[in-house]
Amino acid sequence: MIRGVRGAITVNQNAEEEIVAAAERLFRTAISANNISPNDVASIFISATEDVNAAFPAKALRNIEGWTYVPVMCMKELSVPESLQMCIRFMIHINTELDPEDIKHIYLDGAEQLRPDL
């Protein structure tokens, strides 16, 4: 079964180094928390708010061994008034036998407000 693993993180500035470092930390945390192998990943969607455009967050995955051939797409997050800014979000589509409540969604550095129920 394919299920989604969600996550988000905020950055303090729109700089390539910070965007890639934050995205890599977010991905590594989600991968570890859910024991995800790149062979189990169908695809990854990544979005960023319009104020995060100095780098593609997907570049962070290329720093993680074994993730070269995972299909990744970056896109711009909807610009909703008063929504969280300077934010990178992802959804990893994984093949898993886990039940939905057993998936660990990861929200870091201020992004916890997006899903306080988790």
State yes or no: is 6 an active-site residue.
yes
Q: Is 100 exposed, middle or buried (0-12, 13-18, 19+ CB in 10 A)?
A: exposed
State yes or no: is 77 an active-site residue.
yes
The catalytically annotated residue of 3, 18, 74, 112 is 74
* Nearest-angstrom CA–CA distance, 89 and 106: 10
State yes or no: is 28 an active-site residue.
no
State yes or no: is 87 an active-site residue.
no
The catalytically annotated residue of 6, 18, 25, 28 is 6
State yes or no: is 69 an active-site residue.
no
The catalytically annotated residue of 16, 17, 50, 115 is 115
State yes or no: is 3 an active-site residue.
no
DSSP state for residue 70 in the 8-state scheme: S
Would you please indicate which residues are annotated as catalytic (active-site) residues?
A: 6, 62, 74, 77, 89, 107, 115
